[in-house]
């Protein structure tokens, strides 16, 4: 028995699928089809949210909503004003940026390829702050009899 024959016998015993060139080709075809069917990687949306002076705006709420699906992903900017989130599928998305004391900004983006990174840095302008104050009042109901029995300086009372 030669060394090549022993090596071939060991390979066939350990990897019976790859024992012949035809089996190897079939296995590679299945592997290629399997990998092609896997979903592609997600696209990444990231950026910096700043004010008119270029200062970072931490705590800005960033909402990415799929126009076709309505699904939302929400993230807040960090202390450095930066954000990052992944979008699993290609499509059209509405991205809104909101922060108290600033005007809301919105952008529509189209992601056509997976595994892409999109820089979506945005500048927010100082905006009007809407404050709604609601006042509710109620009147206490009193019986007329109790009111009439109350002493009044305009009405003489009898002290006996």
pLDDT of residue 116: 85
Helix (H) or strand (E) holding 8: helix 3-14
At residue 113 the predicted structure's pLDDT band, cuts being 50, 70 and 90, is confident
Residue in 64, 40, 39 with CA at minimum distance from that of residue 116: 40
Six token digits for residue 18: 């790859």
Which neighbouring-strand residues pair with 83?
Answer: 47
Name the average pLDDT for the chain: 76
Please, what are the domains in the chain?
Answer: 3-37 (no CATH), 43-123 (2.60.40.10)
pLDDT of residue 1: 64
For residue 145, pLDDT over 50 is answered with yes
51-67 confidence digits (pLDDT tens): 999 999 999 999 999 99
pLDDT of residue 37: 43
What is the pTM (predicted TM-score) of this model?
0.56
pLDDT of residue 89: 82
Which neighbouring-strand residues pair with 91?
Answer: 111
């Amino acid at each position: 028995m030669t060394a090549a024959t022993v090596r071939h016998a060991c390979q066939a015993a350990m990897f019976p699928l790859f024992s012949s060139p035809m089996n190897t080709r079939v296995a590679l075809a299945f592997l290629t089809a399997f990998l092609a069917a896997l979903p592609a990687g997600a696209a990444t949306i990231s950026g910096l949210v700043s004010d008119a002076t270029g200062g970072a705006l931490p705590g800005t709420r960033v909402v990415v909503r799929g126009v076709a699906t309505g699904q939302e992903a929400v993230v807040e900017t960090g202390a450095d004003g930066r954000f990052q989130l992944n979008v699993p599928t290609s499509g059209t998305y509405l991205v809104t940026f909101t922060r108290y004391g600033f005007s809301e900004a919105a952008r529509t983006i189209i992601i056509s390829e997976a595994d892409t990174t999109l820089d979506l840095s945005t500048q927010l302008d100082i905006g009007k702050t809407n404050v709604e104050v609601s006042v509710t009042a109620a009147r206490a109901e009193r019986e007329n009899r109790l009111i009439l029995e109350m002493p009044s300086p305009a009405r003489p009372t009898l002290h006996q």
